[in-house]
A = this chain, B = another copy of it.
């Protein structure tokens, strides 16, 4: 039944008249064909079902924030929350307004400013190279597959054109909420965003957040719960309320059109469609998850 559902969604959404807009502020992303779509689901029994372009690679972008947050919670525990908050925001993912009003403390670890702080925390006592190796290693372990690499052209492209992120990093530095030089932290951040994998791999990478076999023992249970809660309230920037309302389970989106979504105890779901909605989240990806949630009764808000 899951297979039929995925195939139906794949067929329906490829016909969708409005596929959203590919992000154009990162040149490497602007090149990507918006007529691509993939979805993959890992279940508790170890089964994995996929549809569409599920072997095509894309860069993780902000989906990587869920993984670096997992690493940072493992290393710092609740100490991390001294530097970053846990509240949703009404402003955009790259907003400086929240940062200024919050005195340099980002609202949550999933807006860009918050994720930069998390990466800065991971850098503590390590070189950027070692930190990146650790991050890639963490993602590989989560996927259970060594065939995952950083796209260095993408990282370079973001480094040159990512002026809003530079603005955020220097702001954080000016409020003493960045331990390292902006160049070091942002360099690492841009590379982490440029980790490439395919939709099938991403679904597998999320198993530890869904508590599925093959995903255990990456981090403590209480951190899993924390990350899922944050993905629910903050995972889609200022469109998080809408996503929770429509989809009903936690997720983290990225500007390349990928979304990792978690049905705790039940499934890890990855979807990829490059066109974005006005909040910067995958337009078709959100729609696909909404239909999947409805078809499988996967909303955590459902009473069954």
Residues of chain A touching chain B, judged by Cβ–Cβ distance below 8 Å, are: 25, 85-91, 95-101, 107-108, 163-164, 166-171, 173-174, 182, 209-212, 221, 224-226, 228-230, 232-234, 238-242, 244-245, 248, 250, 264-265, 299-304
Assembly CA distance A244 to B250 (angstroms): 12
Partner of A232, one of B163, B182, B224, B232: B232
How many copies are assembled? 4
* A87 close to B90 (CB less than 8 A): yes
Once A248-B225, A265-B303 are accepted as A-B contacts, the answer to whether A86 and B242 lie under 8 Å apart by CB is: yes
Q: Which of B171, B228, B234 contacts A301 (CB 8 A)?
A: B228
A88 touches B303 (CB 8 A): no
Q: Would A101 and B96 be within 8 Å (CB), given that A167-B170, A303-B264 are in contact?
A: no
Distance (Å) between the CB of A167 and the closest chain B CB? 4
Assess whether A234 is in contact with B241, with CB atoms less than 8 Å apart: yes
Do the beta carbons of A167 and B96 come within 8 Å of each other?
Answer: yes
Interchain CB contact under 8 A, B163 and A173: yes
Q: Is the interface of A mostly helix, strand, loop or mixed?
A: helix
Instruction: Name the contact of A86 in the complex, choosing from B169, B228, B245, B300 (C-beta under 8 A).
Output: B245
- Is the pair A100, B89 in contact by a Cβ cutoff of 8 Å? no
CA distance A120 to B181 in the complex (A): 25
CA distance A242 to B225 in the complex (A): 13
CA distance A166 to B301 in the complex (A): 34
Min C-beta distance of A241 to chain B, whole Å: 4
With A96-B97, A167-B96, A232-B244 known to touch, is A301 a contact of B264 (CB < 8 Å)? Answer: yes
Distance (whole angstroms) from the CB of A213 to the closest CB of chain B: 11
Given contacts A85-B241, A225-B299, A229-B301, 8 further A-B contacts (CB under 8 A): A88-B89, A89-B90, A95-B100, A96-B97, A167-B167, A167-B168, A167-B174, A250-B301
The interface residues of chain B lying within 8 Å CB-to-CB of A229 are: 244-245, 248, 299, 301
Name the B residues within 8 Å of A209 (CB-CB). 303
A241 and B100 within 8 A (CB): no
